[in-house]
Amino acid sequence: MPVTGERTINADHAALIRRIFAEFSDGVSPKAIARRLNAEHIPGPRGKPWRDTAIRGHRTRGTGLLNNELYIGRLIWNRLRYIKDPESGRRVSRLNPREQWIITEVPEMRVVNDALWARVKRRQGEIDATPRVQAIKETRFWEKKRTTHLLTGLLRCGCCGGGFAAVGKDYLACSAARKLGTCTQRRSFKRNELEAAVLNLLRERLMRPDAVAAFVTSVSREMNAGRAEEGAIRARLEAERRQVTRRLDGLYDAIADGLRTAGLKTKLEDLEARLGMIDTKLAAPAPSPVRLHPRLSEIYRRKVEELSATLTDPEIRPMALETIRGLIQSVTIHETDSGVRIDLEGAITALVGLAQPGADAVINAGSVKVVAGVGFEPTTFRL
């Protein structure tokens, strides 16, 4: 059985591990420890910034720095087994029963003494016993897959470009700033105020009549570009069709002359199959030009209005939420000298599709952007 290549832990690394253990047992949270280490430019695992999860890990699974028994001179094999999730294709780990673990004593690897290890385990026990952690465990939050918040996964930090995550129940902030300490936009924003601002942008700013003129122009340009590309593809297919037909004619002539080999038969079948595929592609109708409704803006606003009204109805809310989320590509939060600016990027296909069902099919989403921005007075947010 192979044993880890690193047979001793160097002195600097050992000191760092002891420091992390000591800080945690003194009551410093893994998140705060990660921030401190990143602020001191101490590289984390594999040279990346420190993350709280790499420190905290999972106690029973033996993951995370604070649960690595190698630091008390024990190497545990076969604690976890890895299987491939058939649905996602991702590797997931499962805990093996304790009797299957293989424990090797490696005293030369020890860097943390038993007293410090015990202090860390005691502190972990205290944290687990707090009402807050108990409440989280009872809600089994990890089993809830349905999105219940409007902005989940859509917010971007205007400073570092990273995502936002929840801070407590009611606030959102840049993950990199809060967890890694690698971004300076540390301010948190009240979730319901951000949601209200974004809904307002969707209703009032994104599809304003004056903005729609520019929008229609860019959509038309996009559709024309799409048609030009379609034309080029058809021309290529037609050229290939001529070539395949010519080669087939040659083969038919050879067969007529009495040549019948197995290779010839295979070649004939291949070319005939290719010809059939080309004909199927050429038979598909070319996309029809789409004329956007002249009152697109008005229809759109009414629909968003209706959708936002249904958000208060618990029965319809999940559906309305998904539809509204579908209209948003991203929401970027910038902190500026004069306050906070929110840039909303609309998902063009869904925007047009909502106001004019059917039109969205021919628009190549992604290359046309609709961006609306709004500034807030800093006092809008209670911090």
What is the rounded CA–CA span in Å between residue 360 and residue 349?
5
Task: Note whether 85 and 75 are within 8 A (CB).
Answer: no
Instruction: Name the residue nearer to Zn ion (CB basis): 177 or 194.
Output: 177
Interacting residue with Zn ion among 55, 176, 197, 198 (CB under 5 A): 176
Among 14, 16, 160, 365, binds Zn ion (CB under 5 A): 160
Other Cβ atoms closer than 10 A to 299? 15
Each residue 104-143 as x (binds Zn ion by CB under 5 A) or -, in order, gives ----------------------------------------
Which residue's CB is nearer to Zn ion, number 52 or number 222? 52
Judged by beta carbon, residue 173 or residue 327, the one nearer Zn ion is 173
Q: Which stretch binds Zn ion (CB under 5 A): 88-96, 150-158, 201-209, 232-240?
A: 150-158
Query: What's the CA gap between 80 and 247, in Å, rounded?
Result: 59
Number of residues counted as binding Zn ion (CB under 5 A): 8
Is residue 167 part of the contact set for Zn ion (CB under 5 A)? no
332 HSE (CA, 13 A, CB side): 14
Residues 261-320 that bind Zn ion (CB under 5 A): none
In angstroms, what is the minimal distance from the CB of 177 to Zn ion?
5
Closer Cβ to Zn ion, 160 or 271, answer by number: 160
For position 183 contacting Zn ion by CB under 5 A, the verdict is: yes
Site stretch for Zn ion (CB under 5 A), options 23-31, 168-176, 318-326, 347-355:
168-176
Residues in contact with 93: Cβ distance below 8 Å, sequence separation at least 6, in sequence order: 61, 80, 81, 82, 83
What token pair was written down for 363? 């628009």
**Dihedral pair phi/psi, residue 81, rounded to 5°:** -120, 150
Q: From the list 174, 198, 212, 328, which residue makes contact with Zn ion (rule: CB under 5 A)?
A: 174
Dig out the tokens for 298 from the structure: 């008005």
DSSP state of 356: S
Question: Segment contacting Zn ion (CB under 5 A): 20-28, 93-101, 183-191, 317-325?
Answer: 183-191
Question: Which one of the spans 126-134, 173-181, 297-305, 364-372 is the region binding Zn ion (CB under 5 A)?
Answer: 173-181
Q: What is the closest distance, in whole angstroms, from the C-beta atom of residue 330 to Zn ion in the complex?
A: 14
- Residues within window 31-90 making contact with Zn ion, judged by CB under 5 A: none
CB of 180 to Zn ion, least distance (A): 9
By CB under 5 A, residue 185 contacts Zn ion? yes
Q: Which of 80, 23, 26 is nearest to 55 (CA)?
A: 23
Helix, strand, or coil here: 209?
Answer: helix
Strand intervals (E) in 221-316:
none
- Report whether 150 contacts 172 (CB < 8 A): no
Q: How far apart are the first and last CA of the chain?
A: 55
237 burial (CB, 10 Å; 0-12 / 13-18 / 19+) is: middle
* Distance of closest approach, residue 327 Cβ to Zn ion, in angstroms: 24
Q: What number of other Cβ atoms are within 10 A of residue 372's Cβ?
A: 19
What b-and-e string marks burial along 79-108, b requiring 16 or more CB atoms within 10 Å of the CB?
A: beeeeeeeeeeeeeeeeeeeeeeeeeebee
The residue range among 178-186, 249-257, 304-312, 329-337 that interacts with Zn ion, by the rule CB under 5 A, is 178-186
Q: Which is nearer to Zn ion, 30 or 158 (CB)?
A: 158
38 versus 308: smaller Cβ distance to Zn ion:
38
- Window of 18-26, 136-144, 179-187, 335-343 that interacts with Zn ion by CB under 5 A: 179-187
Q: d(Cα 158, Cα 177) in Å, to the nearest integer?
A: 12
> Residue 56: which of 109, 120, 130 has the closest Cα?
120
- The piece of 15-23, 77-85, 181-189, 236-244 that touches Zn ion (CB under 5 A) is 181-189
Q: Which of 159, 165, 166, 216 binds Zn ion (CB under 5 A)?
A: 159
Binding site for Zn ion (CB under 5 A): 157, 159-160, 174, 176-177, 183, 185
